[in-house]
Amino acid sequence: MYVGDGIKVGKEGRKMPGVKRLHQESEDVSKPEWIRGHYFNALTILVGVGKACFALPLVLRLDDGIKSKATEKGEGKGKKKVKTSLVTKMADLCVTYAEAGSYVILDAYFACEPVLKSFRQNALHLITRVRCSTVAYAPFCSVPTLTGRGRPRIWGSSIKLEKLFALAADFPTAKVWLYGQQVTVSYQCFEFHWDSPHQLVKFVLTQLPNGRRLILLSTDLCLTGPEIIAAYGLRFKIEVTFRQLVHLLGSFAYRFWLKSLPTLPTFPSNLILSDYPQAVQTQILNKVEAFERFVNLNAIALGLLQILALELPQGIWANFPRWFRTLPSHGYPSERIAQPDFSR
């Protein structure tokens, strides 16, 4: 089971390739709405023993801020226009590194047709959340005796999923392990068409004990509602991994700039490689590789700490010289506790 997400890293360097104006969507008022920085797509794999679980980082890739051309079009006549975005780049990252037949958990930002299509072509299953305003379609049953003008109909009647919460009083309940504790949730499963008129997806309408309502999606119709809810609850593990990369290891504290690059404006847009000479283009790509190598070396270090915490918990606790106000309830050390103390 894999978890993917993106992280925005603030960077003030005006001679640093890939730095661009980024928008932050967050309910935290302490975060500015716009920042300058790098955007990394990340893919992690869930590893754990018992109730202890970590999102072990596999790869982080700088997927925004640099384009090869000002417009991305198909080459030659009769070919479709090639359009890339952060969503399609995340799908490409998952397809490249995730093993076929696995489950990938993504946020609602990546719940769209290109991701589902790419996953189906590569035998991957998607578990994600969709917006409450999502509209699905019932299976269409054609009537051979009825014919008319125009293209034959392939979609059934539309269904606003949010309206199905009116039946929440009749939803069955189940106990699910969410965010470190066991809670009772109400849920109901429906199988509708969404991205394709030929393949069904499973929607799980979920109501948490605090009244919050979620609509989850799974491309694997064999999973039960509680399994999908519990799986999506593990998505927050990648947020913990991001926090450890930032605060514990300083994984994004690189300061690599390019002297031959012109000074960027205060809030730059995408850097177009074709606007620079070939020699400068090579230097830009080498600098991006240095960014990614620095970050991924720290990701390897964090993965080693996570594996040590799961494989050698007794040895880590026996040699742990510090005092923490709170310790993990599952009994396994965290990455911070497993980190060796070189100050002694």
Q: What is the mean pLDDT of residues 30-34?
A: 85
- Domain of 15, CATH number, reads 3.90.350
Phi, psi for 227 (deg, rounded to 5): -65, -40
User: Is residue 344, in this structure, part of any structural domain at all?
Assistant: no
Q: What is the mean pLDDT of residues 257-266?
A: 89
Q: Which of 285, 228, 305 is nearest to 57 (CA)?
A: 305
User: Is residue 309, in this structure, part of any structural domain at all?
Assistant: yes
Residue 57: its pLDDT value, please?
A: 97
User: Is residue 153, in this structure, part of any structural domain at all?
Assistant: no
User: Is residue 194, in this structure, part of any structural domain at all?
Assistant: yes
Residue 231: its pLDDT value, please?
A: 94
As a whole number, the mean pLDDT across the chain is 89
Least confident of 3-17, 73-87, 194-208, 257-271: 73-87
Task: Note down the domain range covering 30.
Answer: 2-74+81-141+171-338
Which tops the pLDDT comparison, 143 or 202?
202
303 pLDDT exceeds 80? yes
280 pLDDT exceeds 70? yes
User: Is residue 166, in this structure, part of any structural domain at all?
Assistant: no
The pTM of the full predicted model, rounded to 2 decimals, is 0.90
Buried b or exposed e, range 196-226, using 16+ CB within 10 angstroms: eeeebbbbbbbbbeeeeebbbbbbeeebebb
Q: What is the mean pLDDT of residues 47-71?
A: 90
Q: What is the mean pLDDT of residues 77-86?
A: 63
User: Is residue 32, in this structure, part of any structural domain at all?
Assistant: yes
Structural domain count, the chain? 1
**In contact, 105 and 232? CB cutoff 8 Å:** yes
Least confident of 87-101, 103-117, 316-330: 316-330
DSSP SS3 for 22: strand
The band of 171, judged by pLDDT with boundaries at 50, 70 and 90, is very high
Residue 161: its pLDDT value, please?
A: 93
User: Is residue 164, in this structure, part of any structural domain at all?
Assistant: no
Q: What is the mean pLDDT of residues 177-190?
A: 90
Residue 26: its pLDDT value, please?
A: 75
Distance between CA 81 and CA 90 in Å, rounded? 19
Percentage of the chain exceeding pLDDT 90: 65
223 pLDDT exceeds 90? yes
Q: What is the pLDDT of residues 95-143, one digit of tens each?
A: 999 999 999 999 999 999 999 999 999 999 999 999 989 999 998 876 5
**In contact, 279 and 296? CB cutoff 8 Å:** no
